[in-house]
Structure 1
Amino acid sequence: MALPLKPLFFFSFVSLVSGSYSLLLPVTKDAATLQYVTQIHHGTPLVPIKLVLDLGAPFLWLDCSSGHVSSSNTPILCGSIQCLTAKTSDSGHGGGTSTCRLSPKNTITGLAEAGELAEDMVAVEGSEMGSRFLFSCAPKPLLKGLASGTVGMLGLGRTRIALPSQLAASVGLHRKFAVCLSSSEGTVFLENEIAGTDVSKSLMYTPLLPGQDPNSEGYFISVKSIRINGRGVSLGTITGGTRLSTVVPYTTMKRSVYDIFTKAYIKAAASMNITRVESMAPFGVCFRSESSEPAVPTIDLVLQSEMVKWRILGRNSMVRVSDKVMCLGFLDGGVDPVYFFFFVHIKRHHQSNDTISISYVILFAP
Structure 2
Amino acid sequence: MGSLTRLIVFLSILAAITRKSNSQYLFPITKHEPTNQFYTTFNIGSPTKSPVNLLLDLGTNLTWLNCRKLKSLSSLRLVTCQSSTCKFIPGNGCDGKSCLYKQPNPLGQNPIVTGRVVQDIASISTTDGGKFLSQVSVPRFTFSCAGEKTLEGLPPPVAGVLALSPGSSSFTKQVTSAFNVIPKFSLCLPSSGTGRFYIAGIHYFIPPFNDSSSSIPMTLTPIRGTDSGDYLLLVLNIYVGGSPLKLNPDLLTGGAKLSTVVHYTVLQTDIYNALAQSFTLEAKTMGIFKVPSVAPFKHCFDARTAGKNLRGPNVSVIEIGLPGRIGEVKWGFYGANTVVKVKETVMCLAFIDGGKKPENLMVIGSHQLQDHMLEFDFSGTVLAFSESLLLHNTSCSTWTSKK
Flag whether TM exceeds 0.5 (same fold). yes
Q: Is 1:35–1:247's contact at 8 Å kept on the other side of the alignment?
A: yes
Deviation of residue 108 (structure 1)?
1.2
1:47 and 2:50 are equivalent in the alignment:
yes
Q: Which residues of structure 1 form unaligned runs of 5+?
A: 1-19, 349-358
User: Partners of 1:262 and 1:80 in 2: how far apart?
Assistant: 52
- Partner of 1:247 in structure 2? 261
- Partner of 2:394 in structure 1? none
- Partner of 1:362 in structure 2? 374
CA deviations over 1:134-176 (Å, ceiling 9, x no partner) = 1011111010111112110101111111111100111111210
Deviation of residue 186 (structure 1)?
0.9
Q: Secondary structure at the match of 2:159?
A: strand
User: Partners of 1:21 and 1:80 in 2: how far apart?
Assistant: 29
- Write 1 or 2 for the structure with the bigger share of helix: 2
Residue identity over aligned pairs, in percent, reads 29
User: Partners of 1:124 and 1:105 in 2: how far apart?
Assistant: 25
Structure 2 residue identity aligned to 1:343: G
Q: Pairwise CA RMSD of aligned residues?
A: 2.2
CA deviations over 1:18-42 (Å, ceiling 9, x no partner) = xx97411100100111110110110
User: Partners of 1:109 and 1:123 in 2: how far apart?
Assistant: 29
**Residues 197 and 364 of structure 1: CA distance in aligned 2, closer, same or farther (over 3 Å):** farther
- Partner of 1:333 in structure 2? 354
Alignment counterpart, residue 166 of structure 1, candidates 174, 191, 205: 174
1:268 and 2:289 are equivalent in the alignment:
no
- Partner of 2:32 in structure 1? 30
Deviation of residue 68 (structure 1)?
1.9
User: Partners of 1:235 and 1:138 in 2: how far apart?
Assistant: 43
Deviation of residue 193 (structure 1)?
2.3
Alignment counterpart, residue 224 of structure 2, candidates 209, 229, 233: 209
Q: Secondary structure at the match of 1:189?
A: strand
User: Partners of 2:86 and 2:72 in 1: how far apart?
Assistant: 23
- Partner of 1:308 in structure 2? 329
Q: Secondary structure at the match of 1:24?
A: strand
TM-score for the superposition, normalised by structure 1: 0.84
- Partner of 1:222 in structure 2? 234
Q: Is 2:115–2:147's contact at 8 Å kept on the other side of the alignment?
A: yes
- Partner of 1:296 in structure 2? 315
- Partner of 1:62 in structure 2? 65
CA deviations over 1:156-210 (Å, ceiling 9, x no partner) = 1111111111001111112101111120231111134249945666211000024
Following superposition of structure 1 onto structure 2, how do residues 334-349 of structure 1 map, counting pairs within 5 Å?
A: 334-335=355-356, 336-344=358-366, 346=368, 348=370
TM-score for the superposition, normalised by structure 2: 0.77
Q: Is 1:57–1:156's contact at 8 Å kept on the other side of the alignment?
A: yes
User: Partners of 2:360 and 2:347 in 1: how far apart?
Assistant: 28
Q: Secondary structure at the match of 2:140?
A: strand
User: Partners of 1:52 and 1:132 in 2: how far apart?
Assistant: 21
Q: Is 1:42–1:121's contact at 8 Å kept on the other side of the alignment?
A: yes
User: Partners of 2:154 and 2:92 in 1: how far apart?
Assistant: 27
Larger radius of gyration: 2
